[in-house]
Each structure stands twice: as C-alpha cells, then as structure tokens.
Amino acid sequence: MCLAIPARVVELLPDQMSKISLDGVIKIISLALVEDVQVGDYVIVHVGYALSKIDEDEALKTLELLQEAGMAAQ
C-alpha cells in the first residue's frame, strides 16, 4: 500500500527542490510536478515528490486523522 501525506514547505531550494517538514523531520523533495508553491504551503508528498498543493485546513484534518490512526506522531 502506498501513502501520500501532507507536508508543509519550509524552504525553497534551487532546481525545483524544497525542504518540507513532516512531524518536525526535515526532508528534501522535488517540486517538479507542482507549480506556484511558496514557503508555508502544504503539499501532498509521495516518494520524494510533491504531487499537488493542498489547502491548509484539509492538510491539518488529514494529519489529525493519521495521528488518530496511529500512523503519525502525536
């Protein structure tokens, strides 16, 4: 089973890359598939790529559900 999760963009990097925060863990991912991403935006991440931007409210609801299911840090 594959899972794409919301993450917050914390820094834009050269070459369509960015740093994201996943429960406080910083990862570097590609933004090549998504346009007009800014610091503070939430993106859906899967295997190192942002697949789409997501509304902050929707991202937070999804992260809360993942916590309730025991799939994310509390």
Domains of the chain plus CATH, in order, are: 5-68 (2.30.30.140)
Residue (of 25, 30, 65) closest to 44 by Cα position: 30
Query: For the segment 47-68, what is each residue's pLDDT rounded down to a tens digit?
Result: 999 999 999 999 989 888 888 8
pLDDT at position 63: 84
Q: What global pTM score does this model have?
A: 0.86
Query: For the segment 2-45, what is each residue's pLDDT rounded down to a tens digit?
Result: 678 999 999 999 999 999 998 889 999 999 999 999 999 999 99
pLDDT at position 47: 92
pLDDT at position 66: 82
Helices (H), 1-74: 56-68
